[in-house]
Amino acid sequence: MEHSSLAGRIFRGVALTLILIFFMFPIVWIFLMSFQTNEQILRIPPRILFEPTFANYEALISGQLRTAAGNLQISFMRNLFNSVVLSSAAVLLALLLGVPAAYAFARFKFRLGESIAFTLLSFRFAPPLLVLLPLSLYYQELGLNDTYFGIVWVYQLIALPLILWIVRGYFEDISPDIEHAYRLAGHSWREAFTRIAVPLAGPGIAAAGLLSFIFCWNNFVFALILASADKQPVTVGALAFVTASGIQYGQIAAAIVLSVTPTLLLALYAQRYLVEGLSLGAVKG
């Protein structure tokens, strides 16, 4: 890297800047929008310089949406809370079920093993709406409609296959002999799983957990059908900004900023460990 020429360095800088602008532009624009009123946003041509307002954030946090047609109650903070609860619970449950399952698929050959693994993956093929219609009927029968548990359960369709398949690959990369050596030193396979396999696959488990958290967080249609207002996450809650007197772009932008923040923080936090863990994972001799 240190040996590249000046022209090469300049080219790399320019290319990186262009890519950064391309990818970051929507996020920056939304961030700017969140500090503007609807009138400022809809002005043509749009301006980069404007007088920032915190009205959008105020409205979201206080739950009072002022529109031309009058005051509107919104429960954005409640939605945000729901999102956190639902996504975290779904990922935790999926990790609890998926990591041991991934280990089993990676280490043991058993009857129908591959078929089961593939079936779990195939849950991701089906359009969610196809699953939802029969599911909502079942949920009504079972009394799971509009419960946190019901939504966490249906989120397993998103999180479980993802975790299973990613973590399985990580387990397969760990030489079984490392666990064998541990077992010969006087430990059961259960200990070999918790003390050797899981820590060594740690970065993979973290990556899979993070990805499925993001997918759960961004899910819209499951909660739209299966939950009512007080259990709905931000993705569904954002519908409230499409009001009778028009679409509240400023508040939508602020809502996006607020709802992106937790996943962004989580990703930044986890990134450190992901990189660290991956460089430690020199498993193969």
Partner 1 sequence: MDMLELRGIDKVYRSRGKAPVHAVRALDMAVEKGEIVALLGSSGCGKTSTLRMIAGFEDVSAGSIALGGRRIHELPPARRKVAMAFEGYSLYPPLTVRENIAFALKSAQLPRAEVTRRVDEIARLVEIEDILDSYPRAISGGQQQRVSLARALVRDADLYLLDEPMGQLEPQLRAVLRGRIKSLLAERGMTAIFVTHDQTEASALADRIAVMEGGVLQQFASEKELKGRPANLFVASFIGEPPMNLLDAGVTQSDGGFRLSVGTDMAFDINGAGLDSEAAKALAGAPQVRIGIRPQKIVVGTGDVRVKVVSNQWLGDQSHVAGDCGGRMLIAVTSGRVAARPGDIVPFALEPRHLHIFGSDGTCIRHAEVS
Binding site for partner 1 (CB under 8 A): 109, 175-178, 180-189, 196, 199-200, 280-285
**Closer Cβ to partner 1, 58 or 114, answer by number:** 114
Tell me the closest approach of the beta carbon of residue 76 to partner 1, in angstroms.
44
Tell me the closest approach of the beta carbon of residue 189 to partner 1, in angstroms.
7
Tell me the closest approach of the beta carbon of residue 266 to partner 1, in angstroms.
24
**Closer Cβ to partner 1, 8 or 176, answer by number:** 176
**Closer Cβ to partner 1, 113 or 169, answer by number:** 113
| Chain centre to alpha carbon of residue 34 | 22
**Closer Cβ to partner 1, 247 or 280, answer by number:** 280
Which residues 6+ apart lie within 8 Å of 119 measured at CB? Answer: none
Tell me the closest approach of the beta carbon of residue 1 to partner 1, in angstroms.
22
